Structure 1
Amino acid sequence: MIVLKNPHLSVHIDEMQGAELRGIYTPDARNALASYEWSSPTPVGRGASYGSSEMDWLSGYRGGWQETIPNAGQNCVVDGVELGFHGDASRTRWSIVDQGADWCTLETSTRLPIRVRRTMRLDPDRAVMYIEGHVVNESDLEIVFLWGHHPAFPSVDGGRIDLPDGCTIHPDVNRSGDLLTQDSPWPMAKTSSGEFADLSEQPALGSHRLLYVTGNKVGWSAVRQPDPYVSVAMSWDVAKHPYVWLWTMRQTPEYPWYGRASMFALEAQSAWPYDGLAGAKQRGQGIKIKPRGEESSWMTLAIIPNGSGTVTGVTKNGEVTFKSSEMH
């Protein structure tokens, strides 16, 4: 486990499993991310396959923050190669290229002929983390891939989500939960009972939903939590990640949750819906990288004070603006 630390933040990264972020801790040891320490289900690396790429991936999922590349969502076959659920880079071992006390650079390969490098750095003066991603095409062909981030946060009563104005909601046709599969302006969506749900609020226990948010002219989101949970604001390269996936699960009974987890993920993604790279390519989505070419992206996370009011913007530098009428 790699630990980056300064007076404002401590970030724990598991380079053995997809270089996933297991924790983003404040100085008083509160984790901004949803994180569970279950011993079961047995992760697939310690036993036999569960029979599907998605179930194998979920067997080792305990919350945290994954980088989904070169696939996101459903496993699929592209150019004769099966790409696993959420991309093999989210589960493979990453190599440490270099590191210091408050930064590190990691690297891995994927089932497609691309090499992925990620640098994470903590701001020396603020509770801000910068992520820089770099992808190199090692082939003589143009490659299309998906690239996203899957940070999960505790889903608790009183928690709220802020997104830019002008976005459109698209509930997933197979995983909408209590929502009708009708497009609507963020944050209101019609439910199967005929009422409207405010998706900026956390749903009732027992809810399980997946929806997509499009029309993002800028890339940012915010998670405003009640005490003692940690509130955050994020920004990202909207040219590379123009869509947001919002997945919410609150104490549902199925594998691997068994009623013991409550979390949601705000995912900056390069395609939608959930059908993986094969479907994205058919729609003309995804990121194209030229033969022997390179692509880059970035993401920033800032801790914000609880009770700060509605977030109205987040910059690449981690500067956060709030609705002035709500400031105390």
Structure 2
Amino acid sequence: MPVPSAPALDSTLVSLARDSLGARIDPIGARLDSLIYSRDDGDPVELLYRREPEPDLPTDAPGSNGQWHRRYAGGWHTLVPHSGDERTVDGVAQPFHGEAAWKTWRVAAASTAPGSAARVHASVTLDTVPIRLERVFELFGTTLRITQRATNLGERPQPISWAEHPAFAPPLVGPGLGITLGESVLPLHVPAPPETHGAFAAYPCGAIGRAVLDNPVSGLRVTLEWDAELFPYAFIWQEHRASQGSPWHGIADILAVEPSVRPYDPEDERLGPLVIAPGDTIATTFTLTLA
């Protein structure tokens, strides 16, 4: 796949659209800021949770954990080379949910031939580990495809963690939503009861990397697919208008499905179980399809 020339390094959102889907990518973290589905029988629907923090947020939140939640804008992040609480590994501080989500990537729309998918290419080289990341967004009909590559630029094997963090919102999220992970229907109540309003759980996804979110009430059905051998776990996070503290204040309605290479809590002192040999590249694809 060709890499577009002379991508710009700035904070301008980059848009792409094709058929019934429209998307917008934020150079900060190469975050998918918006994914809009235009139904034939209704108004366009925003599928992702979106929040617009104030640009002059105070910086008194404790550490990167606090800063992340204070500045959380929703959407779909990639979490590399670490996910979860901030920690120090080999003397290097790793911020909450990994350096890649905090850095400004080079992002540019690539030229496409007639009849091909719309495409946006993003790239960044990390500082905490010698890893170069590339993230390519493409649209095909009612499918979003994200292809991501991680290349070890160093001279030693590099362990990393890796998780994807798509956060969905109403009308997909809400009463009537059912979730199937792999071949199993998850025992989730949506919205979650008050005592579990901040519910978070990690599930092994089995042989099939697939989550189906089906809401017959809203008429929306979304299928998220990934490589289950590379990402054998999926985290499910729910936040349904019950948490009154910052930053939710009882107004956030979110459900995230997060493929991950490891359980949420690290199992050893390494950054993660995924080890990239010097000069090697790991490439994988995530698709999100509307039905």
Task: Indicate the TM-score class for this superposition, using the shorter chain for normalisation.
Answer: 0.7 to 0.9
- Following superposition, the deviation at residue 284 of structure 1 comes to 9.8
Aligned to 1:9: 21
3-state DSSP class of the match of 1:58?
helix
- Following superposition, the deviation at residue 253 of structure 1 comes to 0.8
Alpha-carbon distance change, 284 to 146 in structure 1, aligned in 2, over 3 angstroms:
closer
**Native 8 Å contact 1:20 1:67 kept in 2:** yes
Determine if the alignment matches structure 1 residue 213 to structure 2 residue 213: no
d(CA) in 2 for partners of 1:132 and 1:73?
A: 23
Determine if the alignment matches structure 1 residue 23 to structure 2 residue 2: no
d(CA) in 2 for partners of 1:215 and 1:88?
A: 26
Determine if the alignment matches structure 1 residue 121 to structure 2 residue 138: yes
**Among 244, 247, 252, the residue aligned to 1:253:** 244
Q: Which runs of 5+ in 2 are unaligned?
A: 1-12, 113-117
d(CA) in 2 for partners of 1:204 and 1:22?
A: 28
Deviations 1:130-187 (A, max 9, x none): 1111011111011000111100112422222111236xxxxxxxxxxxxxxxxxxx63
- TM-score, with structure 1 as normaliser: 0.75
d(CA) in 2 for partners of 1:106 and 1:292?
A: 20
Percent identity, please. 24
**Native 8 Å contact 2:236 2:257 kept in 1:** yes
Q: Which amino acid aligns with 1:96?
A: V
Alignment of 1:31-46 (within 5 A): 31-39=46-54, 42-43=56-57
Q: Which amino acid aligns with 1:61?
A: Y
Aligned to 2:125: 109
d(CA) in 1 for partners of 2:106 and 2:214?
A: 34
- Following superposition, the deviation at residue 215 of structure 1 comes to 4.9
**Native 8 Å contact 2:161 2:271 kept in 1:** no
Determine if the alignment matches structure 1 residue 132 to structure 2 residue 153: no
d(CA) in 2 for partners of 1:138 and 1:163?
A: 35
**Native 8 Å contact 1:103 1:120 kept in 2:** yes
Q: Which runs of 5+ in 1 are unaligned?
A: 167-185, 188-197, 305-328
Computed over aligned residues only, the root mean square deviation of the Cα atoms, in angstroms, reads 2.2
Deviations 1:229-274 (A, max 9, x none): 743111001122110001111111122111110111100011112x
**Among 48, 55, 63, the residue aligned to 2:66:** 55
- Following superposition, the deviation at residue 285 of structure 1 comes to 5.2
**Native 8 Å contact 2:14 2:108 kept in 1:** no
d(CA) in 1 for partners of 2:136 and 2:271?
A: 29
Q: Which amino acid aligns with 1:7?
A: D
d(CA) in 1 for partners of 2:104 and 2:247?
A: 23
- Following superposition, the deviation at residue 228 of structure 1 comes to 4.2
Alignment of 1:1-328 (within 5 A): 1-15=13-27, 17-27=28-38, 28-39=43-54, 42-43=56-57, 47-96=58-107, 99-100=110-111, 102-110=118-126, 111-123=128-140, 126-154=141-169, 155-165=173-183, 187=186, 198-199=187-188, 201-205=190-194, 207-228=197-218, 230-251=220-241, 252-273=243-264, 275=265, 279-282=266-269, 286-304=273-291
d(CA) in 1 for partners of 2:85 and 2:181?
A: 25
Aligned to 1:311: none
d(CA) in 1 for partners of 2:267 and 2:101?
A: 19
**Native 8 Å contact 2:59 2:67 kept in 1:** no
**Native 8 Å contact 2:244 2:250 kept in 1:** yes
Aligned to 1:190: none
Aligned to 1:191: none
Deviations 1:184-215 (A, max 9, x none): xx63xxxxxxxxxx316431356111100015
- Following superposition, the deviation at residue 39 of structure 1 comes to 3.2
Q: Which amino acid aligns with 1:259?
A: G
d(CA) in 1 for partners of 2:153 and 2:190?
A: 44
Q: Which amino acid aligns with 1:14?
A: D
Q: Which amino acid aligns with 2:17?
A: K
- Following superposition, the deviation at residue 49 of structure 1 comes to 4.6
Q: Which amino acid aligns with 2:193?
A: A
**Native 8 Å contact 2:182 2:208 kept in 1:** yes
- Following superposition, the deviation at residue 281 of structure 1 comes to 3.9
Deviations 1:268-301 (A, max 9, x none): 011112x3xxx24448952100012211111001
Alpha-carbon distance change, 160 to 108 in structure 1, aligned in 2, over 3 angstroms:
same
d(CA) in 1 for partners of 2:32 and 2:180?
A: 22
Q: Which amino acid aligns with 2:252?
A: A
